[in-house]
Structure 1
Amino acid sequence: MSRPVAVGVDGSDGSVAAVDWAADEAALRGDGLRLVYATRWAEHQLGAMKVSHADRAGEAEGVLAATERHVGSRQPELALTADEVEDAPVSVLLDAAAAAELLVVGSHGLGSVRGFIVGSVGQEVIAAAARPVVLVRPGYEKDRAGAPGGSGRRKVVLGLDVNDVEDELVDFAFDFAGRHGAPLEIVHTWHHSFVHHPDAATRDDMEAALSGAVLPYRDRFPATEVTVVSAPGRAAEHLIEAASDARLVVVGRRRAARGAHIGSITHAVIHHAPCPVAVVPHA
């Protein structure tokens, strides 16, 4: 039995964008969609305003009902479930992720500042989820060709370290690109001295290492059009630049034996990439 695509719902603009992306992705995959709304919030989040359980449950019911109608108008054939769960949002979303093919959550724009807000709940979920988490910002559909199921061929971007190639990460990127009929751009960066510029031999060695790391996946996904980019510099900067004309950026997050952690590259990408970002946990 296939797992659903799960999406966190709270009625915000970021949540609406996440629902739209998740609905289109679930329809493309042939999976169901599960809407999840958490109704138990910490006291400091409620502030001085006291909200009863009945009020919170009523608000959840209203938001979920409106979201179900919205999804039905967008993807009328999509199998849909909606759950209001009384627990802390991080716990609710982590449980939803564990039972899903992937989890989708929203982020919020910063207006004129170049970047997006990923709240504490989103960051905790990304850092600890057992399954891939896709972060979606409001306005991602302004170019519909880049949306899931769109007719355009905007690329999928994968950030890859050739010294730490993980199947879970690379398979996700190839599979996503293949489902969408999109080209895949694989980006590997490497450090160089600020004094000595990299010579041709160094560049050739790095490009050969990247091509060698990708070769087994090319063989497994022969229909996917692949471009490899090996360049000196900071990985986050290259990935954020590549994201400017991408439909999705895929980055990894190592599963920690103790505690949860988002690496610096992934942290920068989820806050600054203008397109949806998938964070894939790996060993």
Structure 2
Amino acid sequence: MREALTRWCLDLQAHTGLSSIVLGGRRAWQETAVESKASDVDLYAFCGDGLYARMPRLADTLRGAGVRRVVRERSAFLELHYVLTDLPEIDLKVMRWSTVDAVLAAPPNLDELYLEKMHSLHHYRVIIDDSGDGLRRIDRAARRRPADLAALLPYAFESYVKHAWGVAKQGLRRGEPLVGSHLARRALDHLVLVEYLLNDTYPPPFKWRMHDAALAGLRRGDLIRSVATTLEFTPGLSLADHADGLRALEAEILADPGAAGIPGRSPDAWWWAP
């Protein structure tokens, strides 16, 4: 399958002039080789503004590429979906170099699109990069990683505290269970972000963040899965039960030595007694 995918990419390059094509960040080559045909392969192609504008027309005339089901114009990229006979379905996402550069120029932040793009830059597998532009940008992302993760950690923690404080104040003290439950889920999301950052990794895209394969790489991944499963699927749990589950998970995560220097971290967890 690896060879067939490479041939498809070379044909795509010859037809369009794309100079950089990489395999998406979710799976490595060897994982793709055994992946079920029911699963998409994510390919990313990068180009300048001029070629980007011509891509829909070029895609229409790409012979031998398989049956193209749909073209979607997204805010940051053009998405083309192909159904092939000898490969899994392919999601081809064509992105301008200017978009990648804008992500790399942005200060570290918790926006989901930013986190997704930075995670991808750290997990791309290069297939074609004739110009070297892709490798240069991947290297740039790798070099800024330590500083980025260090900057994101206090933001993720502060966001967790803000939502946990809302669970205690609005949900429990003021008796607003709907608001409290919504805030509790948001608090859990940010606590999971803290765990990924303490494990020295960019959080994966949101839809994969609680996947077994992603959690398996975390020091407290099994605990996160257990607590989240209990909170989401146990009938009749009260908001106080949710708060207790969050506090227990918080205690384990914040006991990590890497959390010792987080600004605002407090042994009395004042946010639970507003």
Bigger Rg over Cα: 2
* TM-score normalised per structure 1: 0.28
Richer in helix (by share)? 2
Richer in strand (by share)? 1
